Amino acid sequence: MKRASPHKVLVYGTLLDGEPNHRLLARARFVGDAATMGGFALHDLGFFPGMARAEAGVVVGEVYEVDDATLAALDRLEGHPRFYRRTTVSLADGEQVWTYLLGPEQVEGRPIIRSGSWRARRKEERP
């Protein structure tokens, strides 16, 4: 019987703990809070954020270890490869993990979340 390979994935939006799509990570193991190395921006797309390459900036989120089935479910949610593209990125500590990126044309004109944190952005919205 083939054992599922673990994959580390950085989530930064609706998959975060307490957000609406976190249920997809029910079988995942929480590894910890993390931030990307510089070179990324988090854009506000309304009901969800999108990360894209940028000249400067970091994005913060949570890293989970997921099995093959969970990774496939995340790919479906994120529309990989037609909407988001699952790509490896470097975290601030140098570790390589999967995450979901948008292309520059997809975030053009969308506001940048300067803190790099969807959770902080969502707190700003609450009265």
| Residues annotated as part of the active site | 78
Q: Is the peptide bond before 20 cis (omega within 30 degrees of 0)?
A: no
Residue whose tokens read 């700003």: 124
Rg of the Cα trace of the chain? 14
Q: Supply the DSSP string of 38-52, one letter for each residue.
A: SSEEEEE-SSSEEEE
Residue whose tokens read 């909407």: 83
Helix segments in 57-101, DSSP class H:
68-78
